[in-house]
Amino acid sequence: MTGARGVPADAPVVVAARRTWVGTAGHGHRALTEVDLAAGALRATLVDTCSLGVADDPADVVLGCCTGPGGNVARVAALAAGAGVAVPGLTVDRQCASGLAAVLVAAQQVRAGEARLVLAGGTESASRAPARAHRTPGGDVPFERAAFAPVPWADPAMGAAADELARRRGVTRARQEAYALRSHARALAAHRAGRLDAETVRLGAPRRALARDERARRLDPAVLARLAPAFSPDGTVTAATASPVSDGAAAVAVVPERVRRDLGAPGLRVLASATVGCDPALPGWGPVPAVRAVLARAGVALDDVAAVEVVEAFAAQVLAVTDALGLDPLGDAADDARVCADGGALALGHPWGASGALVIVRLFSRLVRAGAPAGTLGLATAAVGGGLGVAALVEVVR
């Protein structure tokens, strides 16, 4: 059985997508936990699905989260958002791609015929994440971070890995700074034009609630040029070309095509996805094989894709990936218009467990809310510590 334009009736389609404004850790959302943030995004998404005519409780809530307190954040957030007591929850940790992985899990549940509605996304509160320590006979030792790869594999911190990727792929500091300037300028323009308003929800006390993504600002090229390397003595990545530690959440509603068709609502069909591994020494490279795999799986070329959203963990990483894929957001006019057109994590913020879902929300706004015709393609991708890449190809359906 197929739906409109030959779309399979059980094809997973995103019909609603919302996110919080993103706060810099320790600032705008410092009083909110990962559950508070997730519940706000989930609640707004549930309201949107109800307004479309979906009366069902979600069959599941799937959320990415990297640094939360455990206790199944997705289940707690589902209850906090007002979902029925019968709604379960699944918390996913694929590090910076956790939110995207959660959306893909929801899509698989729908495609398998197990659900008429699944809410998925991600959440992170770096401000409120628990402090951890290793217990040793000599006392507690502060826990800095989990291992991304075991001995004898390389296990670099993400900043040092971005420096190494820039060195190996020839991404200069000047290009990184130019890309950071572009990201912030695009985000500021999107805020001024109100292009982000429909996808966001304000949380917290009225006088303290963020009304925009907190990090976006006007950057001075002269100041950027004077910044010291942030992660390696001879590196090229600085504080301005690395994404900030952030708090935020994003959520989407996924239904089968037959439900979407009955509702008469536009959406984003999850056309194909790919999750791959790469060298743990160069985790930022992961989107390259992931994007190549997802395009091959769908039988389309990158030139056929109208909108591309890359999780901008580091400017060096984005440029290494876009160079390898044949994209040029700093030079080619068409690529400049389709790669992170309203800025990305460098300017909007990078709440780790949520960022992968946030780029799906961005694609929903850029394509569905903006009125792109049926059949228009979008691509979301993220790199992951330990050497992974995740990519999803989506298609507008109307």
Report the interhelical angle of 34-52 vs 73-80 (nearest 10°).
60
CA–CA gap between residue 79 and residue 250 (Å, rounded): 16
Q: Report pLDDT for 144.
A: 87
The confidence score (pLDDT) of residue 55 equals 86
**C-alpha distance across the termini of the chain, in Å:** 18
In the chain, the number of structural domains is 1
pLDDT of res. 5? 57
Task: Tell me the H-state helices in the chain.
Answer: 34-52, 73-80, 98-111, 158-169, 173-193, 221-226, 257-263, 287-298, 315-325, 333-338, 345-348, 352-363
Cα–Cα dist 160/169, whole Å: 14
What secondary structure letter does DSSP report for 370?
T
Q: By residue range, what is the domain housing residue 11?
A: 4-130+242-397
Cis preceding linkage at 130, omega within 30: no
Structure tokens at 243: 């994404």
Dihedral, 187, 191, 193, 196 alpha carbons, nearest 10: 90
User: And the tokens for 290?
Assistant: 């992931």
Cα distances (Å, whole numbers) of residue 171 to 125, 163, 285, 320, 330 = 31, 9, 13, 7, 12
pLDDT score for 208 = 84
Give me the pLDDT at residue 164, please: 98
Question: Does the active-site annotation cover 350?
Answer: yes
Q: Is residue 75 assigned to a domain?
A: yes
From the candidates 29, 184, 191, 350, give the one annotated as an active-site residue.
Answer: 350
Question: Hey, what are 364's tokens?
Answer: 């929903």
pTM equals 0.96
- Residue 29, classed as helix, strand or coil, is coil
Specify if 30 maps to a domain: yes
Residues 6+ apart with CB under 8 A from 262: none
Residue 139 lies in a domain: no
% helix / strand / coil in the chain, to the nearest 5?
Answer: 40, 25, 40
SS3 label, residue 261: helix
pLDDT by residue for the chain (398 residues), tens digit each? 444 458 999 999 999 999 999 999 999 999 999 999 999 999 999 999 999 999 889 999 999 999 989 899 999 999 999 999 999 999 999 999 999 999 999 999 999 999 999 999 999 999 999 999 999 999 999 998 889 999 999 999 999 999 999 999 999 999 999 999 999 999 999 999 999 999 999 998 887 899 999 999 999 999 999 999 999 999 999 999 999 999 999 999 999 999 999 999 999 999 999 999 999 999 999 999 999 999 999 999 999 999 999 999 999 999 999 999 999 999 999 999 999 999 999 999 999 999 999 999 999 999 999 999 999 999 999 999 999 999 999 999 99
Active site residue 66: no
Instruction: Please identify which of the residues 66, 96, 278, 340 carries the catalytic annotation.
Output: 96
Nearest to 357 by CA among 74, 120, 23: 120
Assess if residue 184 is contained within a domain: no
Tokens standing for residue 154: 């390389």
- Token readout for 261 is 């068709």
Q: What is the CA radius of gyration of the chain?
A: 20
Angle at 366 between CA 364 and CA 372, to 5 degrees: 95
- Residue 145 placed within a domain: no
Q: Kindly give, in sequence order, each residue whose CB lies less than 8 Å from that of residue 277, ignoring residues fewer than 6 positions away.
A: 286, 387, 388
Within a domain: residue 309?
yes
In a domain, 291, yes or no: yes
Which domain CATH number covers 381? 3.40.47.10
**124 belongs to a structural domain:** yes
